Amino acid sequence: MPTSPERQKRRVNVRTPEVMERVQAEVADHYQSSIVEKVRARNGVMTIGNTTIRLAKQFGFCYGVERAIDLAYASRRVFPVHRIFLIGEIIHNPEVNRQLEAMNIVSLPWREMNGQYDDLNENDVVIVPAFGAPISFMDKVESRGCLTVDTTCGDVMKVWKRVRGFARDGITSIIHGKADHEETRATASRAVGEDGRGHYLIVLTLEDVDFVLDYLLHGGSADAFRERFAGAMSEGFNPDIHLALLGVANQTTMLKSETEEIQRRVREAIVKRDGHADNFSVFDTICGATQERQDALFDLLKHTMNLLLVVGGYNSSNTTHLVEIGEKELPTFFIRSAECIVSLEEIIHYDLHQKEEVSAYSALFSAEEPIVVGITAGASCPSNLIEDTILKIFELRGVDAEAVRSA
């Protein structure tokens, strides 16, 4: 639904120099780590006794997340007594979300709008998270006359520009992403275009893509197609019509190699069907921060390590892909915080295959043998959680926090 022109947009800029000075000091106090900075300055390596920590060159908060957190903190400074709401979570990290809750910033549901949205009024402030929000949510907030602080990352908006362009040209967007992820939902809402007549299909796996391409080349049951992609395609999607012109875009945090493979397969199928690639468009919309973190992990994996810890929120897409990269090479554990490390042998972690938190045993490490632990983290993980992880590893090897700080 297009935004009514008569509605007054009430977006507010909370980034005044005086506010930002205070906010940045607060954010640094909550999330920065002197130990992590020290290890970074040493080329990512810290060895004490026979224990070595290796950090990836790039990990943790990206520019989009830093900006979103700054803006959320600034909102409370600028509006000390207003009710402040947030559509869903600012980013996928429980620690950060806890801090915002403590500032009385109330999270609203992001999948469906409920009565809380009807209760909003013009004195309320609504923060839009770094992932963005679907157009229907933005329209609702605007129709309630709320003050809006929009923290949508510029890289996400670049994807919106691409899919809107596809819709304008009558091209169906194939969006590589998770249908139930905030960013992909926001992107999908833009893929129907300004007039709402465009179409999209969300694919997550190579199997999804192969299913689509098999239909594209050989036809099949449209009902079976719609059943498979229920909740992951535009309203009225007809595979007999809407696979004619295809454009591929992706959620900004997907695995680069997989997105490239999807692009390759779609292009190949279109050339096979049409004899040329004129009906295929592609824009790589993986963001720079995701790419850097994946590349940095590939570099880290060139070193010999006993195990890899990936720190982050379990619902974080970019963190999940770091785990996928790591687990192909060595024992890899996806942990939400240092508390998950019961011992170096027993680590509570999120198992991507079982889709649940499990307690698992890695190899036995004797105190006399040297050990190398690799650490990385997704774009939504603050440095203080990495610091806790470093301290915990050394503690389990008999080195106390003081010794680590003064090393």
Report in angstroms how near the CB of residue 207 gets to ligand SF4 at its nearest.
25
Among residues 344, 356, 351, the alpha carbon closest in space to that of 389 is found at 344
Residue 379 lies near ligand SF4 (rule: CB under 6 A) = yes
Residue 295 identity (one-letter amino acid): D
> Of these, 12, 24, 63, 77, which contacts ligand SF4 (CB under 6 A)?
63
Q: How far is the CB of 160 from ligand SF4 (least distance, A)?
A: 11
Mask for 176-195, x = binds ligand SF4 (CB under 6 A): --------------------
Check residue 289 for interaction with ligand SF4 (CB under 6 A). Answer: yes
325 to 35, 339, 344, 352: CA distances (angstroms): 26, 23, 21, 12
Q: Pick the binder of ligand SF4 from 23, 31, 60, 64 (CB under 6 A).
A: 64
Identify which of residues 236 and 288 has a Cβ nearer to ligand SF4 in the complex.
288
Told to check if 65 binds ligand SF4 by CB under 6 A, we report yes
Is 182 considered catalytic here? no
Q: Identify which of residues 176 and 392 has a Cβ nearer to ligand SF4 in the complex.
A: 176
Q: In terms of CB distance, is 69 or 243 closer to ligand SF4?
A: 69
Nearer to ligand SF4, 298 or 361 (CB): 298
Q: How far is the CB of 19 from ligand SF4 (least distance, A)?
A: 21
Q: Counting contacts by CB under 6 A, is residue 155 touching ligand SF4?
A: yes
156 binding ligand SF4? (CB under 6 A): yes
Residue of the chain from 36, 96, 130, 201 that contacts ligand SF4 (CB under 6 A): 130
Residues 199-228 that bind ligand SF4 (CB under 6 A): none
Catalytic residue among 183, 194, 207, 368: 183
Contacts of residues 350-354 at CB distance under 8 Å and 24 or more positions apart, as own/partner, are: 350/314, 350/323, 352/320, 352/323, 352/324, 352/327
By the rule CB under 6 A, 62 interacts with ligand SF4: yes
User: Which of 290, 320, 332, 384 is in the footprint of ligand SF4 by CB under 6 A?
Assistant: 290
Q: By C-beta, is 170 or 288 nearer to ligand SF4?
A: 288
Active-site annotation, residues: 183
Residues that bind ligand SF4 (CB under 6 A): 62-65, 130, 153, 155-156, 252-253, 287, 289-290, 318, 379
